[in-house]
Structure 1
Amino acid sequence: MAEDKLFNYYERQDVLPTFGNFKSAAELEAYAGVRRELFSDKLVLPPRLFRDADVLEFGPDSGENALVFAGWGANMTLAEPNRHAHAKIQAYFAHFSQAQRLRELVSFDVEGFRSERQFDIIDAEGFIYTVQPTENWLGIFHRLLNPDGYAVVSYYERYGGFFELALKAIHAAGKVLTGRPGLETAKMLFDAKWNSIPHTRSFESWLMDVLENPFVRHRYFLDAGALCTAAHEQGFDIHSAWPAYRDSLDVYWHKKVLSDDEKLRRAARHLGRSRLSFLGGRKLYLAGKTEAVDAISASIETLVLDVDAMIDDPFGASLPRVIASLASLRETIRTTEILADDASDVDAIIATLDSFHRIFGAIARRDVSAVTALTQSDPAFINTWGQPAHFLVIRSASRDPSK
């Protein structure tokens, strides 16, 4: 059953999904170092921009990111609708001597927040894709930002999230085949995959946050190109993104000024050629003719839709289509012009698609032993996570958004 809001889902679990339980300055600094790398090198927002800035963070959860921003000198306004998080936030700011930087803590979500103030930076990570339609939160951000202010969001990208959806589909099929509860089934299928990576949260948290989360679904995921278009129409410029949404191979005279429409057109073209990169979680840039790129993009879109349908109906009409699409995409990639760092990257995505093809084939045969053997031992399956989480930074342009 779908939840009304993502925070309602977490309230019912009585879980704070990102709580790091930092106790020492060293723990906080280690985390801040990772954030500094993200913001400085990938998002082109160096920490000095936060010095004395008025920052509004939506959905801070237990407040780790807000604490880092405060450490960079930001004055924080936090809108966290899950009241279970408020005590953790206040305790964090007191423990690390940043209480003076916590200007306001309120129990509102994005759509319920009201303020006469404007902010230099808005941060909304990990949930914003569930606030739909997208134009709603973009409009709210535009009203709340100062001219030339920045909004930072992270979200599930539609094609980068393919493997998350595929894991949910495999999990759904496993529960039907074994009749076991969700946690037991997940450990049976994914224990080796989970243990292959370093992590700070429990397996049970991942089960709740991804495999059983009703918002980790195609209908909520955002297409990067459509998001950039919607932001442009609301009066935003694209400042930066990770993965990069601007074509970094583009070359022209530095004094040439592109119109906003032309910037958007070039970004959209680049994003279309990046769809396989997003799916695979590595550089797999579609460098061939436009017709071939469009055909592969369409096949990926169909595959994502069909695997999402399996989550509700694991043995329904979409299962044979998923198997056929995986085989077709695997073979198409062999003959497609792809720009990659190394030929091994192309081999890796082919091996991964082959692995998932065999897993879904075993599901179709209702051979749970074969499914489990593959998910617990196949290196291509174990080592692939895709690129589900994208970051986008947009800047509030000093112009009438209706023009």
Structure 2
Amino acid sequence: MADDKLFNYYERQDVLPTFGNFKSAAELAAYAGQRRELFSDKLILPPRLFRDAEVLEFGPDSGENALVFAGWGANMTLAEPNRHAHPKIEAYFAHFGRTERLRELVLADVEGFRSDRRFDIIDAEGFIYTVQPSEKWLGIFQRLLNPDGYAIVSYYERYGGFFELALKAIHAAGKALRGGPAQETAKLLFEAKWDSIPHTRSFESWLMDVLENPFVRHRYFLDAAALCAAAHRQGFDIHSAWPSYRDSLDIYWHKKVLPGDEKLRRATRHLDRSRLSFLGGRKLYLVGKAEAVSAISASIETLVLDVDRMVDDPLGDSLPRVIASLASLRETIRTTEILADDAVELEAFTATLESFHRIFSAIGKRDMADVTVLTRSDQAFINTWGQPAHFLVVRKRAEEA
């Protein structure tokens, strides 16, 4: 059964994708601390900004993030199209004594939400990339925000999503080679990797949310530069992003006012040179000539597309191209001008490429035993997650009101 929208996929599942099942104030406080770090330090949105703000959150799922915003003093309007999530949201707000901050809970998605009210902040995390084209949701946000209002989104970035796609391709190959239930194969391949990181959700939730999710695919992933350009055309300025979408090495007189088009041009140039960093999940900034940057970007794009094709046909024609491309990228890294924190970072990334090359080579040999040994013991594989999820904060230009 094909799913038209992401929430249709979740409605058919037995679990909510991000349900943390918080029971105590201490559990909620620990999660709120993580959110405070993200918003204050990385997104430059201090919690004080949420005090008495009218906040609209699209797709809150079970409501953990909404609880945090309410704890910061926000009045929450929640648009959640998955009806199974509503009882969890209401129970959460009642349990933690924040019902008075839940202004409205609506059964609607982004495209179906209707309101004559305007909001100070819109938050849409973890799904917005599936609403395409991006101009569609940007236009909706533009209409619903107050002038100088903020929109916060997280999404799968096209280059940063490589390793996520690679895990899906390995999982698809594992299912093809050994048969059996998807969950058993996933645990055999990835349980050691999953257990190596802290998390607030179950392995089964991750299986559903990533490995089996039909929307975690290249055709939905957004290119950061293209998204920034679309936001600019829709009347938004970039406020912040994580990873950073602004060139932090750029220096000019503080009184100099750059036109919006020039700001976008500088951000785009920076993003072009950041694609390897996004893929690797670490600082691997391309500092060479523009032609070299473009060539590496093209090779990465080809690799990502071939890995994506393997999700549907894991033992098909794309597999030998993936093996060759991984080897080629590994060698290219060794001869490219790259700004990294130190040589160790480059060595670690090279080891990661080598690790995935070994795993896909084992798939090519139809050696499921070797694939399993590598995914359960290779530290470069276990430690690598890339940078699939990007956060972007845009601000509605006052003159566009």
1:161 equivalent in alignment to 2:157: no
1:94 matched residue in structure 2: 94
In the TM superposition, residue 14 of structure 1 has moved relative to its aligned partner by: 2.6
* Cα contact 2:18–2:205 (8 A) shared by 1: no
In the TM superposition, residue 16 of structure 1 has moved relative to its aligned partner by: 1.2
TM-score normalised by L of structure 1: 0.98
* Cα contact 1:278–1:387 (8 A) shared by 2: yes
The alignment partner of 2:12 has SS state of helix
2:253 matched residue in structure 1: 253
In the TM superposition, residue 400 of structure 1 has moved relative to its aligned partner by: 3.9
CA distance in 1, matches of 2:49, 2:224: 26
CA distance in 2, matches of 1:43, 1:109: 25
CA distance in 2, matches of 1:46, 1:176: 48
1:226 matched residue in structure 2: 226
In the TM superposition, residue 22 of structure 1 has moved relative to its aligned partner by: 1.4
Deviations 1:233-262 (A, max 9, x none): 101000000000000010111111111001
What is the correspondence of 1:317-328 to structure 2 with a 5 Å cutoff?
Answer: 317-328=317-328
2:186 matched residue in structure 1: 186
In the TM superposition, residue 306 of structure 1 has moved relative to its aligned partner by: 0.5
1:49 matched residue in structure 2: 49
After TM superposition, the runs of 4+ consecutive aligned structure 1 residues lying more than 4 A away are none
* Cα contact 1:122–1:141 (8 A) shared by 2: yes
1:243 equivalent in alignment to 2:243: yes
CA distance in 1, matches of 2:73, 2:392: 22
What is the correspondence of 1:270-349 to structure 2 with a 5 Å cutoff?
Answer: 270-349=270-349
Query: Which region of structure 1 is more displaced relative to structure 2, 172-181 or 326-335?
Result: 172-181
CA distance in 2, matches of 1:325, 1:205: 31
2:387 matched residue in structure 1: 387
In the TM superposition, residue 100 of structure 1 has moved relative to its aligned partner by: 1.0
1:16 equivalent in alignment to 2:36: no
1:140 matched residue in structure 2: 140
* Cα contact 2:19–2:62 (8 A) shared by 1: yes
CA distance in 2, matches of 1:208, 1:46: 33
TM-score normalised by L of structure 2: 0.98
Deviations 1:349-401 (A, max 9, x none): 11111111111111111111121121111111111000111000000002349
* Cα contact 1:124–1:154 (8 A) shared by 2: yes
In the TM superposition, residue 326 of structure 1 has moved relative to its aligned partner by: 0.5
CA distance in 2, matches of 1:343, 1:393: 32
CA distance in 2, matches of 1:16, 1:66: 15
1:170 equivalent in alignment to 2:170: yes
1:151 matched residue in structure 2: 151
Query: Which region of structure 1 is more displaced relative to structure 2, 193-202 or 305-314?
Result: 193-202
1:68 matched residue in structure 2: 68
Structure 2 gap ranges (5+)? none
The alignment partner of 2:222 has SS state of coil
Aligned partner letter, 2:80: E
In the TM superposition, residue 163 of structure 1 has moved relative to its aligned partner by: 0.5
1:106 matched residue in structure 2: 106
In the TM superposition, residue 295 of structure 1 has moved relative to its aligned partner by: 0.7
* Cα contact 2:62–2:86 (8 A) shared by 1: yes
In the TM superposition, residue 199 of structure 1 has moved relative to its aligned partner by: 2.0
In the TM superposition, residue 138 of structure 1 has moved relative to its aligned partner by: 0.3
The alignment partner of 2:380 has SS state of helix
CA distance in 1, matches of 2:322, 2:27: 44
Aligned partner letter, 1:299: S
1:377 matched residue in structure 2: 377
Query: Which region of structure 1 is more displaced relative to structure 2, 53-62 or 176-185?
Result: 176-185
CA distance in 2, matches of 1:319, 1:395: 43
* Cα contact 1:55–1:122 (8 A) shared by 2: yes
In the TM superposition, residue 115 of structure 1 has moved relative to its aligned partner by: 0.5
CA distance in 2, matches of 1:27, 1:309: 40
CA distance in 2, matches of 1:347, 1:121: 42
The alignment partner of 1:13 has SS state of coil
Aligned partner letter, 1:65: N
2:357 matched residue in structure 1: 357
Q: Residues 2 and 248 (structure 1 numbering): CA distance in 2 closer, same or farther, change over 3 Å?
A: farther
CA distance in 1, matches of 2:148, 2:160: 29
Q: Residues 2 and 221 (structure 1 numbering): CA distance in 2 closer, same or farther, change over 3 Å?
A: farther
In the TM superposition, residue 195 of structure 1 has moved relative to its aligned partner by: 1.6
The alignment partner of 1:14 has SS state of coil
Deviations 1:105-132 (A, max 9, x none): 0000000000001000000000000111
CA distance in 1, matches of 2:106, 2:190: 38
The alignment partner of 1:29 has SS state of helix
Deviations 1:258-307 (A, max 9, x none): 11001001100101111011111111111111111111111111100110
* Cα contact 2:16–2:205 (8 A) shared by 1: no
In the TM superposition, residue 187 of structure 1 has moved relative to its aligned partner by: 1.4
Across the aligned residues of Structure 1 and Structure 2, the Cα RMSD in angstroms comes to 1.0
Aligned partner letter, 2:355: S
The alignment partner of 2:398 has SS state of coil
In the TM superposition, residue 206 of structure 1 has moved relative to its aligned partner by: 1.1
In the TM superposition, residue 2 of structure 1 has moved relative to its aligned partner by: 3.7
Structure 1 gap ranges (5+)? none
CA distance in 2, matches of 1:5, 1:234: 24
CA distance in 2, matches of 1:353, 1:60: 35
In the TM superposition, residue 64 of structure 1 has moved relative to its aligned partner by: 0.9
* Cα contact 1:2–1:215 (8 A) shared by 2: no
Deviations 1:331-364 (A, max 9, x none): 0000111111111110011111111111111111
How many residue pairs were aligned? 401
* Cα contact 1:11–1:84 (8 A) shared by 2: yes
Aligned partner letter, 2:342: D
1:206 matched residue in structure 2: 206
The alignment partner of 2:303 has SS state of helix
In the TM superposition, residue 200 of structure 1 has moved relative to its aligned partner by: 2.2
Aligned partner letter, 1:93: F
2:33 matched residue in structure 1: 33
Aligned partner letter, 1:332: T
